[in-house]
Chains A and B, each alone.
Chain A
Amino acid sequence: DAGITQSPRHKVTETGTPVTLRCHQTENHRYMYWYRQDPGHGLRLIHYSYGVKDTDKGEVSDGYSVSRSKTEDFLLTLESATSSQTSVYFCAIRGGETGGSYNSPLHFGNGTRLTVT
Chain B
Amino acid sequence: GENVEQHPSTLSVQEGDSAVIKCTYSDSASNYFPWYKQELGKGPQLIIDIRSNVGEKKDQRIAVTLNKTAKHFSLHITETQPEDSAVYFCAARSNAGKSTFGDGTTLTVKP
| Overall SS of chain A's interface | strand
How many chain A residues have a CB neighbour from B under 8 Å?
Answer: 24
Chain B interface size, as a band, is: 20 to 34
B57 within 8 A of A: no
Q: What are 26 inter-chain pairs, A to B, with CB distance below 8 A? A: A42-B6, A42-B101, A42-B102, A42-B103, A43-B44, A43-B89, A44-B101, A45-B99, A45-B100, A48-B98, A58-B98, A59-B1, A92-B43, A94-B97, A102-B32, A103-B31, A103-B49, A103-B93, A106-B36, A106-B46, A108-B36, A108-B44, A109-B43, A110-B42, A110-B43, A111-B43
Is there an interface contact between B46 and A110, defined as CB atoms closer than 8 Å? no
Residues of A contacting B42 with CB < 8 Å?
110-111
Could you tell me which B residues sit within 8 Å of A by CB distance? 1, 6, 31-32, 34, 36, 41-46, 49, 51, 89, 93-95, 97-104
A90 within 8 A of B: yes
Is there an interface contact between B43 and A103, defined as CB atoms closer than 8 Å? no
